[in-house]
Chains A and B, each alone.
Chain A
Amino acid sequence: MKIVIDGEEYPCEPGQKVYDVAQENDIYIPTLCLNELNTGERPAGCRMCLVEIVEENNEEPNLESSCSLPVSDGMEISTKSRVVYDERREVLELLLSEHQQDCRNCGISGDCKFSDLSFEYDIDGVSVCSECPNRKDGCFLSRGIICLGPITHSGCNAFCTRNGDPCESCFGILKNKDVLLFGLKDLDEKGFTREEILEAGKVFSYEETKSLEELIDENDIFNKEVQE
């Protein structure tokens, strides 16, 4: 019995899991929930070991967690495709949303799988809003007060918004462009202007607001009036 991983054939036994075949052949697949404390069970809980089952005429990519995926003869697996990388990265971001955000500056850094994976998958934080306790009426943006939470790197545990003051982006503008764009569009929808945002950002993140300006122009945000 054989399976193909990343274009190479490997022998395997019926009932074996794809993850174990990869392990035997030194093929790297990341995982968080499979560890020394958790050898017997396969909870397939962290979803970091996602792989793609390559099949012809597949409309949607077929992704499975390799630790619980049994082998079948001739099965073709990809551990390195773009979709696998993106999907694992998203899984990691979701896991991190329940965790101290500023992973790269954590003191345990270097001896933490979570942190290692954050580097590997280039996780650079989610916005301050994820840590902010203010919802609905408590949110400054819903009251028309400019708050840079949606475009600011988290990790401060939303100190200012917890103390009743809007975010001034002292932790820096988000580096993850997707999340940053999402935040900017959110600010746009709530009726804030390009100038308001740049002015608020300049207090603590003067240099970063320059690249923010470019990003806003490239993506044509805050231009509603002009279009109309």
Chain B
Amino acid sequence: MKDINIDVKHVTRVEGHGNIIVDAKQGKLDEVLWEVSEAPRYFEAFVKDKPFTQLAQITSRICGICSIGHALTSLRATENAMDIEVSGQDEKLRKLALHGENMQSHVLHVGYLALPDLVGQGSVIPLASSHPEELKKVISLPKLANEISRVTCGRTTHPRRLIPGGFSKLPSPLELEKLKTKLEESVPVLKEVASFVKELSPALPDFERETEFISLTHDDEYAFYGGKIASTDGGITPVDDYLSVTNEYVVPQSTAKYTKNNRESYMVGALARLNNNFDQLTPLAKEVAEDFDLSPVCHNPYMNTIAQLVEVVHSVEDSLQLINELLDKGIEEQGLNYQPDIEPKAGTGVGAVEVPRGILFHEYTYDEEGRCTKANCIIPTNQNHGNIQHDMEKLVPEMIGEKSEDEMELTLEMLVRAYDPCISCSTHYLDVEFR
């Protein structure tokens, strides 16, 4: 049997730099590696000694895609540490902002990064000639998603209006009305995009590996903004005990830490959320999921892309619901350039929010002056690296002898892409002694 030598440096159509390495001789697997070669980011060191008012602005810069998610997680950690109250109205607006970001990121991944694989192309550009009408519909969605972020946060990336205790400026009812109309108009478009993806979905590899799925869960809603930590292996963990779930450890091939809980690895992201909270999806989202035969617990990582599509539908429906509630109750005015009067105090707080790629944790310790003395940020992709590695270890032997080297390479790249990794965000400050 021919030797197999796959060395993908770096995987394209993902955020950041990661490599796939496979070595097999005479049909016997020597080595399969998912390498993360990004430099560590040191954000936890940047925020040390900084006043609490600056933290969300700084940590938002960890990621350009999940800037709203990072800002909100950071704010929740700060608010928990100092017992800062946030009004019901502000919480709804924050959830709306999160939906905007989630939708934007998911459409980018499903439509631009994953779809080309399903039609056998290397990028989204050839789809403009092969599927022009469908692509136009896909393209209209990120625009809408960005509009949600702009209305709630002031701009599409790196939110400005999110501050400890609420919002510095609120959207006007008129802006929300306009947004509502656009969201309503997008529902038929979404259905068409879903059926387009459905047509192409048989190209998704049929691969399963039993693993653990971890996400937030909430009694009243499909959890994005806060809740408790749930696992498909059972058990609910309060957010404050997140370290007992993440259990970070260091591996030689990666500058990002790996994590594990009950098993050798676990997965976070859209599929994990869907597996844990399927019943709380909105009606249309459930319909789309059922169309794809997607039901909990699904152990095919490639279905993460489909779970993202389902969540886009959920985000649109839930955003409409949130806007309706806000408009019905009327937006409660606050002063011009609102900056709440917060008395800083010492303490530790954990924030957990579901961002597009999964559960995100920030933990801060503050001194009496409200200056950060210690910070820890655990990013979704670094919780997924271990699962990617173990998926590959199972997938590669299944393919040896069945598929050509090129086909193997593509299937492995598609696996990495299915996790929608945000690699450069996943490398965080490593407290390692080099020998």
Contact = CB atoms under 8 A, between A and B. Distances in A.
Interface of A: 134, 137-138, 140, 143, 145, 159-166, 168, 199, 203
Interface stretch (B229-237, B267-275, B331-339, B381-389): B331-339
Contacts of B337: 134, 138, 140, 161, 164-165
Contacts of B338: 164
A168 B154 CA distance: 16
B92 interface: no
User: Which of the listed residues B50, B57, B163, B167 has the most CB atoms from chain A within 10 Å of its own CB?
Assistant: B57
A134 B337 CA distance: 9
A14 to B, nearest CB: 61
A93 to B, nearest CB: 28
A168 B51 CA distance: 13
SS of B interface (majority): loop
Interface of B: 50-51, 54, 57-58, 154-155, 160-161, 163, 167-169, 336-339
Contacts of B50: 203
15 contacts: A134-B336, A162-B154, A163-B154, A163-B155, A163-B168, A163-B169, A164-B161, A164-B169, A164-B337, A165-B160, A165-B337, A166-B339, A199-B51, A203-B54, A203-B57
Contacts of B336: 134, 137-138, 164
A145 B54 contact: no
Contacts of A165: 160-161, 163, 168, 337
A137 B154 CA distance: 22
B425 to A, nearest CB: 20
Given A134-B337, A165-B163, A203 B58 contact: yes
Contact of A159 (B57, B160, B167): B160
A159 B51 CA distance: 22
Nearest to A164: B168
Contacts of B169: 163-164
A107 to B, nearest CB: 20
Contacts of A160: 160
Contacts of A145: 339
A129 B336 CA distance: 17
